[in-house]
Amino acid sequence: MLALRYVYVLALVVWLGGMLTLGALVAPTTFQVLQATEPVTGRALAGELFGATLARFHYVAYAAGLLLLVTLSAMRLLGPRPTAFGVRAVIIAAMLATTLYSGLVVLPRIDAVQQEAGGLPSRLAAADARRVRFEELHQLSTRLMLCAMGAALILLYWEAREQS
């Protein structure tokens, strides 16, 4: 049982830590450094780099989500039922669903808008439909990740509380 719990917490921390690291460190640092280094092309390079990093992270998140569901279910089957098992399972499923939607639907749409705009939508007029669409998709991507982060924090709190 301890091994299952360890894997569960590890998967949760990898997913949550990855989201926090991407949002709080990787994205702002990437844009800041590349724009300062390459004033003309830095923003485009930063967008490409962060987009590729985020796309790869989604695979880590998918694996972590599946691992959370599997280990939580195994704990239920092999030992005493985890506190609020159903609620936890729904939270994990919702996290996984939002992450799948982000990675499989939103990110490809962002890429398509960027290609259609010929690179940087931010260089287009503020009223340009492509720029507006890009900004909407970017906000949606951010909100989906924030929802997953909030849910992960709830699950982590549950684990910490259960041990006290």
d(CA 73, CA 71): 5
pLDDT tens string 112-163: 999 998 888 988 899 999 999 999 999 999 999 999 999 999 999 999 987 6
d(CA 95, CA 144): 9
d(CA 59, CA 67): 12
Band (164; pLDDT cuts 50, 70, 90): low
Identify residue 45 by its one-letter amino acid code. Answer: L
**Up-side HSE of residue 86: CA atoms within 13 Å toward CB?**
0
Q: Is the dihedral of CA 145, 121, 130, 56 positive or negative?
A: negative
